[in-house]
Copies of this chain bind each other. A is one copy, B any other.
Amino acid sequence: MTTLERFFDGDQSALARIISFVENREEGYQTVLSRVYPKSGKALRIGFTGPPGAGKSSLVNNISKVLASEGKRVAVIAVDPTSPFTGGALLGDRVRLTDMPIDGSIYIRSMATRGSTGGLAAATGNVAAVLDAFGYEYILIETVGVGQIELDIVDACDSVVVVLVPESGDAIQTLKAGLMEIADVFVVNKADRPGVDNIVMELNMTLDIRREKSDWEHPVVATEAINNKNTDKLIEKVKNHVEFSKTSGRFESHRKAQIRKKIYSILAFNVNGMIREKLAHLTDVDRAVSDIYQGKSDPYTVSQELLKLSDIDLSFS
């Protein structure tokens, strides 16, 4: 049996192999993905984002355990460089989630967040598709909501949870960082700290404008992830949003928009790869770089010249 056959057969070690294969873009990964994609689409993708230290990991941890206790298969993808999952991996040690079930009902994967400019959002989507096709019913994607790539990642989810803490200014910072527009459910975590009422009120006031334009009543849930408080309530709100989204048609239109983006990004990725490969063999590049450095030419003129030289054939025939 091939690894892919074992994967479709439910073999957990084949899953790990396929994920690495896809994440590292090994030779032939696109062929594997073209086999995997048609089997995906059943899982719900829930994105969690917010400033570093807001407690996203603890929250995701709690939620995954509740969903698992409901008999659901849950996968967690951590794309947050400040997450104990990913951060731990970067620092060379491992996540120890000693209270996690060992029956494979919860699968945790961290994505490398460096050296993958432009490809991180795509790689995260691919890993999610693999987990989806494998049979995970919930895919919880955790990312720190600051950069554009991170926003792209959660925007690809069916529901987006933005996690804040009751510190002054957070709501405004969130607004500025573009999180407000993409959030479906808001969480104020660490609700035992002072200032909770203020930020909940501030959020509700800001959200009133959005609520007027939408049939969805963006909820604000106050949680204490560390004490596992209000996890159920948050899950209920997320499920409500998915229901609302399906009924209103937004679910389908959003997924189709994501597919369209995906097609485009594959095209761009493949064409860029061809360009990079062609250019690597052109000795003229070194001379051109020196010319530009000395002010004798410019990168726009050079790129046009190189394109002529490279004679790229895009017909894929």
- Chain A positions within 8 Å of B, measured between CB atoms, are 30-31, 33-41, 51-52, 81-82, 87, 90-91, 113-114, 116-118, 120, 144, 146-150, 152, 173, 175-178, 252, 255-256, 259-260, 262-264, 266-268, 270-272, 275-276, 279, 285, 288-290, 292-293, 295-304, 306-308, 310-312, 314-317
- Verify A295–B117 contact, CB threshold 8 A: no
Q: A293 to B255, Cβ gap below 8 A?
A: yes
B266 touches A303 (CB 8 A): yes
Specify which of A35, A82, A259, A299 lies most central, judged by the most chain B CB atoms within 10 Å of its CB.
Answer: A299
- Quick one: which of B38, B147, B267, B302 contacts A295, CB cutoff 8 A? B38
* Given A149-B148, A266-B303, also A295-B173 (CB < 8 A): no
A125 to B223: give the CA distance in the assembly, Å.
42
What are 19 inter-chain pairs, A to B, with CB distance below 8 A? A38-B297, A41-B295, A81-B146, A90-B176, A117-B148, A144-B146, A147-B150, A256-B290, A259-B292, A260-B289, A263-B303, A263-B306, A264-B279, A266-B303, A268-B271, A271-B272, A307-B314, A308-B316, A312-B314
**Cβ-defined contact, A41 with B293, below 8 A:** yes
What 4 A-B pairs have minimum CB-CB distances, sorted nearest first?
A147-B147, A37-B298, A146-B146, A34-B300
Chain B residues with CB below 8 A from A312, complex form? 314
Chain A contact residues, majority secondary structure? helix
Query: Whole-angstrom distance from the CB of A278 to the nearest CB of chain B?
Result: 9
Closest to A86 in B: B176
- Nearest-CB distance from A165 to chain B (Å)? 14
Closest to A314 in B: B312
**Whole-angstrom CA separation of A150 from B113 in the bound complex:** 13
Residues of B with C-beta under 8 A to A175: 91
A303 to B297 CA separation, bound complex (whole angstroms): 36
User: Which residues of B lie under 8 Å from residue A33 when comparing CB positions?
Assistant: 298, 300
Residue of B nearest to A173 (CB): B82
Measured CB to CB, the closest approach of chain B to A250, in angstroms, equals 14
Least Cβ–Cβ distance between A314 and chain B, in angstroms: 5
Find out whether the CB atom of B82 lies under 8 angstroms from the CB atom of A176: yes
Residues of B within 8 A of A144 (CB): 146
Complex Cα distance A288/B260, Å? 9
Tell me, in angstroms, the Cα distance from A295 to B314 when the chains sit together: 27
